[in-house]
Amino acid sequence: MKVHFHSFRHWKATMEYHNTKDLIHVQEVLGHKNIEITRGYIYIEKALYTTTEDDKFHSKVATTQAEIMQLLESGFEYIMQKDGLAYFRKRK
């Protein structure tokens, strides 16, 4: 089996998608103008990482600005706001 530069590109795209689950982020990392091209790079992730512990999240809810800042500083990702509550998540 031969390893080429493109092999590393596929691996980087797969790992970026696995870590972020953000196709737009992977598209920006790879520099693609068309999202359909990016989709071709991440198909391996679904085959390698099906129903693993990595697909689980810690969830938190914040009601004050101080709580929001604390969650963001500790690595939580903002998801949405509803009924005056801010929802966050972070991979386990």
Q: Residue 20 above 90 pLDDT?
A: no
* Unique residue bearing structure tokens 């970026």: 16
Structure tokens at 20: 């972020």
CB 18 within 8 A of CB 26: no
- At 25-79, the pLDDT tens digits run 889 988 989 888 888 777 777 767 665 555 678 899 999 999 999 999 988 888 8
| pTM across the whole model | 0.49
For residue 45, which of 23, 17, 65, 70 has the smallest C-alpha distance?
17
Q: Residue 80 above 80 pLDDT?
A: yes
CB 44 within 8 A of CB 15: no
